[in-house]
C-alpha cells in the first residue's frame, strides 16, 4: 500500500485487448490529496481507485471503468471516498461515455456512502434483467463451510449501461477460495443514446 505503481495497493482493471483499446487510465488515492500516495481521513490503509478509458474496436463505443477498494475501518474515509469517487468520475469521464464503478466498498447496501453512490449510478444487483444468481453476500473471510456474511462488493453502472446478468460466484478449489471475497460477474450491454 505504498506507491500504487510497483508496490502496495492495486485495484487492477483487466480488459480484452482484442476487443477494447485503451485510450487513457490512471489511479487516484482516496484522500484529501488524490494525486499523491496518501492516507485518507481516518483510514487504516492507503486506498485507491484505478480507472481506464476504453473504446470498443468494432463499434467505436467508449467506456470508463473505475475499480476501487474502500478502507475497512474508517467511517469518515468511506463517506469521503464515495463523494470523491463520484466527483472524479464526473471530472474524468465528463459524462460523455458509459461508466462502470466496481470494487470492494467494505460497506453494506444500507450504508449512507452506498446510498450516495446510488444517487448517481445503478447497483447492478438491483437492476439486472435476469434474477441475480449465486450468493447475495460477497464476503466470506475464507470460511468454506459457513455461508458468506455480507454484501460489500459492488458493480455500479451509469444509466446508459444495461445489466443483463449478475452473479456472485461461489466456485472454489479443494474447498478453499483464492480470496476472502466472492468474485462478482456481470454481463453488460450499452444502451443506445
Residue 3 pLDDT greater than 70, yes or no: no
pTM: 0.93
Q: Between these two residues, 193 and 165, which has the higher pLDDT value?
A: 165
Give the Cα separation of 68 and 51 in Å (integer). Answer: 9
The separation between CA 51 and the C-alpha centre of its own chain, rounded to angstroms, equals 10
pLDDT tens figures, 19-73: 999 999 999 999 999 999 999 999 999 999 999 999 999 999 999 999 999 999 9
pLDDT tens figures, 134-186: 888 877 667 777 777 899 899 999 999 999 999 988 777 777 777 777 889 99
Helices (H), the chain: 75-93, 112-118, 124-127
Taking domain 20-190, whether its CATH number is 3.60.10.10 is answered by yes
Give the Cα separation of 29 and 37 in Å (integer). Answer: 6
Q: Nearest CA to 20 among 84, 50, 73, 63?
A: 63
Domain residue spans of the chain:
20-190
Give the Cα separation of 23 and 38 in Å (integer). Answer: 26
Amino acid at each position: 500500500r505504498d506507491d500504487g505503481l510497483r508496490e502496495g495497493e492495486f485495484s487492477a482493471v483487466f480488459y480484452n485487448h482484442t476487443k477494447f483499446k485503451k485510450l487513457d487510465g490512471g489511479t487516484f488515492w482516496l484522500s484529501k490529496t488524490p494525486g499523491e500516495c496518501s492516507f485518507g481521513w481516518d483510514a487504516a490503509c492507503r486506498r485507491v481507485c484505478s480507472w481506464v478509458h476504453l473504446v470498443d474496436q468494432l463499434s467505436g463505443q467508449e467506456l470508463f471503468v473505475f475499480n476501487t477498494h474502500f478502507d475497512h475501518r474508517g467511517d469518515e474515509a468511506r463517506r469521503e471516498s464515495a463523494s470523491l469517487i463520484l466527483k472524479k468520475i464526473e471530472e474524468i469521464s465528463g459524462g460523455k461515455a458509459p461508466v462502470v464503478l466496481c470494487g470492494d466498498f467494505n460497506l453494506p447496501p444500507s450504508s449512507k456512502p452506498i446510498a450516495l453512490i446510488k444517487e448517481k449510478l445503478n447497483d447492478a444487483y438491483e437492476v439486472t434483467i435476469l434474477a441475480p444468481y449465486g450468493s447475495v453476500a460477497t464476503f466470506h473471510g475464507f470460511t468454506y463451510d459457513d455461508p458468506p456474511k455480507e454484501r460489500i462488493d459492488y458493480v455500479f453502472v451509469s444509466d446508459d449501461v444495461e445489466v443483463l446478468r449478475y452473479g456472485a460466484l461461489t466456485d472454489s478449489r479443494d474447498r478453499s477460495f483464492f480470496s476472502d471475497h466472492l468474485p462478482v460477474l456481470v454481463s453488460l450491454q450499452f444502451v443506445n443514446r
